[in-house]
Amino acid sequence: MFAIMKRLFSVVLFASVFALATPTQADETHSQGSGPQYSLPKDAKSCVRDTAFMRRNHMNLLLHKRDETMHDGIRTQKESLQGCINCHVTKDKAGKAIKVSNPKHFCAACHEYTAVKLDCFECHRSTPDTGQDTASIPKIPAHANLLASNANNSSEAKALGRFLKGVTQ
Amino acid sequence: MNNTSLKDAYIEKTRRDFLKKAGAGVTTLALASGVTLMAYPQAAQARKPEEPVDPSQRWGLLIDVNKCTEDCTACVTACSEENGWKQGGNPGIDAQWIRKLKIKNPKSGHEQTFPVMCQHCGAPPCVDVCPTGASFKRADGIVLVDKHICIGCRYCMMACPYKARSFVHEPLTDQKSHAPRGKGTVESCTMCVHRVDRGDQPACVEKCASNGHGALLFGDLNDPNSDIAKRLASYPTKQIRADLGLDTGVRYQNL
């Protein structure tokens, strides 16, 4: 009984400390205790559905909308990925929208926390479209890096050389 | 019938059409402005965002090769800017949704240039060979890749007789929000489907017209009153590799 009381007390203490410590951040960053830290849009009062529904089912809404848009050309903004991205935007100190590679990005925050791989942004952009950019290729291609790292490892390079020699003979 | 009575007859007809469509509540308001009367039929043509594509339509392009000049690549740059692909100096792997071709008659030396892109076939071989159903023809005739289910096998690239498709080899960031593109998927001309869906013309067509060439004409092949259908009905036109019987949506005039 004492143990339970102690635990309860610590929870209350933690909650009150947390509430006292973060009043200035309350409108900026939301958190579930030690859970993911994410920002909610400041000017929007509610999402397309309630929060509990969205937490569990946002992927189903997106999947449904994706097929409607792709195959039937239905381009309503509600429940579209573009709509999500345009509203759920997190800005850095310079006022620039942050990309999904930054863990503070609205999608990245929970997906990193729950270790669920996020494939949308392999093709879609993760920030609102300003119309200014062209799709950019990273300056050093991934395979060039791979070759460079292999070349540094001389034993690996020699082994590869021996193998190739064997193949060609 | 003189000019004035023609004009009166036109106004009377538009007024009656408008009254038929609008109903009595708004007539006085609308009749006060001639502009509203003129704009009304156009606005009625654009599809609403929540409406699915109309299978009675078939979007197509007509390219007048005589109006296409050799030194102009406006259609290619317009496409690149609109859809966010660019050539990074590696022709082996660079994306290319539209390209300018030059053909020469070896006997006479006569040369012609024209753009070639996805021909949006009525019977597309890329759709036939796709193992996942990612390559598909939309109900209005636009051939697309559903990159959500594309596995990047590139059978469609081999099947396409026009070499219209590209494969994305590198990871990308900052794509256009209306033209998602990603590593490991195949892509090609979408006939600017995002623009068509909101009632606009493809970027290449718009740019060619604003540059003063007007070599590209976009429209509904199935609508006998569309400019493109009228041109197809009055002039001889060609499909590239018509012998394959693919019923292309992109047609060429004076080729």
User: Is the CB of residue A133 less than 8 Å away from at least one CB of chain B?
Assistant: yes
Domains along the sequence of chain B with CATH: 3-45 (no CATH), 59-253 (3.30.70.20)
Asked if B182 lies within 8 A of A73 by C-beta distance, the reply is: no
Interval B61-112: pLDDT, tens: 999 999 999 999 999 999 999 999 988 778 888 999 999 999 999 999 999 9
User: Is the CB of residue A52 less than 8 Å away from at least one CB of chain B?
Assistant: no
* Residues ≥6 apart with Cβ < 8 Å to A77: A83, A86, B49
- The residue ranking higher by pLDDT, A104 or A18, is A104
In which band, very low, low, confident or very high, does the pLDDT at B116 lie, cut at 50, 70 and 90?
very high
Asked if A72 lies within 8 A of B139 by C-beta distance, the reply is: yes
* pLDDT value of position A142: 40
User: Is the CB of residue B247 less than 8 Å away from at least one CB of chain A?
Assistant: no
In this structure, what is the dihedral angle of CA atoms B194, B49, B183, A140, given to the nearest 10 degrees? 60
CA distance B175 to B84: 6
In which band, very low, low, confident or very high, does the pLDDT at A108 lie, cut at 50, 70 and 90?
very high
- The residue ranking higher by pLDDT, B89 or A59, is A59
ipTM of the shown complex: 0.76
Best mutation target, B54, B85, B147, B177, to test chain A (most A CBs within 10 A): B177
Q: Pick from B85, B88, B193: which is nearest to A73 by CB?
A: B193
* pLDDT value of position B149: 96
In which band, very low, low, confident or very high, does the pLDDT at A32 lie, cut at 50, 70 and 90?
low
* pLDDT value of position A11: 47
Please tell me which of A2-11, A43-52, B101-110 the model is most confident about, judged by mean pLDDT: B101-110
* pLDDT value of position A35: 78
Asked if A137 lies within 8 A of B51 by C-beta distance, the reply is: no
Asked if B85 lies within 8 A of A135 by C-beta distance, the reply is: yes
* pLDDT value of position B157: 97
pLDDT higher than threshold 70 for residue A68: yes
* pLDDT value of position B146: 97
Contacting residues of A for B198, CB less than 8 Å apart? 75
Quick one: average pLDDT of A29-41? 74
User: Is the CB of residue B52 less than 8 Å away from at least one CB of chain A?
Assistant: yes
| Mean pLDDT for all residues in chain B | 86
Where would I find the beta strands (DSSP E) of chain A?
A: 29-31, 37-39
* pLDDT value of position A140: 41
User: Is the CB of residue A27 less than 8 Å away from at least one CB of chain B?
Assistant: no
Asked if A137 lies within 8 A of B139 by C-beta distance, the reply is: no
CA distance A96 to A89: 10
Quick one: average pLDDT of B179-197? 95
Contacting residues of A for B53, CB less than 8 Å apart? 72-73
Q: Pick from A72, A85, A122: which is nearest to B182 by CB?
A: A122
Sorted by where each begins, the domain ranges of chain A are 27-122, 138-169
* pLDDT value of position A30: 62
In this structure, what is the dihedral angle of CA atoms B183, B189, B192, B193, given to the nearest 10 degrees? -80
In this structure, what is the dihedral angle of CA atoms A91, A133, A103, A85, given to the nearest 10 degrees? 70
Contacting residues of B for A124, CB less than 8 Å apart? 175, 177, 180
- From A160, A141, A164, A140, select the one nearest A150 (Cα to Cα): A160
The percent of residues above 90 in pLDDT, for chain B, comes to 75
Contacting residues of A for B173, CB less than 8 Å apart? 99, 125, 135-136, 138
* pLDDT value of position A165: 64
CA distance B207 to B88: 23
Interval A127-165: pLDDT, tens: 998 766 555 554 444 444 444 444 445 566 666 666 666
pLDDT higher than threshold 60 for residue B17: no
User: Is the CB of residue B92 less than 8 Å away from at least one CB of chain A?
Assistant: no
CA distance B100 to B79: 12
- The residue ranking higher by pLDDT, B194 or A19, is B194
User: Is the CB of residue B85 less than 8 Å away from at least one CB of chain A?
Assistant: yes
Asked if B148 lies within 8 A of A70 by C-beta distance, the reply is: yes
- The residue ranking higher by pLDDT, B233 or B28, is B233
pLDDT higher than threshold 60 for residue B251: yes
Quick one: average pLDDT of B223-244? 96
Best mutation target, A72, A99, A120, A125, to test chain B (most B CBs within 10 A): A125
In which band, very low, low, confident or very high, does the pLDDT at A21 lie, cut at 50, 70 and 90?
very low
* Residues ≥6 apart with Cβ < 8 Å to B177: A82, A85, A124, A125, A128, A129
Residue environment code for B171-186, b if the CB has 16+ CB neighbours within 10 A, otherwise e: ebbbbbbbbbbbeebb
Quick one: average pLDDT of A55-72? 94
pLDDT higher than threshold 50 for residue A112: yes
* pLDDT value of position B50: 87
| Mean pLDDT for all residues in chain A | 74
Q: Pick from B84, B139, B184: which is nearest to A135 by CB?
A: B84
Contacting residues of B for A74, CB less than 8 Å apart? 49-52
In which band, very low, low, confident or very high, does the pLDDT at A5 lie, cut at 50, 70 and 90?
low
pLDDT higher than threshold 60 for residue A25: no
User: Is the CB of residue B178 less than 8 Å away from at least one CB of chain A?
Assistant: yes
- From B76, B90, B91, B95, select the one nearest B204 (Cα to Cα): B76
In which band, very low, low, confident or very high, does the pLDDT at B216 lie, cut at 50, 70 and 90?
very high
User: Is the CB of residue B96 less than 8 Å away from at least one CB of chain A?
Assistant: no
Best mutation target, A62, A123, A130, to test chain B (most B CBs within 10 A): A123
Contacting residues of B for A125, CB less than 8 Å apart? 173-177, 180
CB A99 within 8 A of CB B173: yes
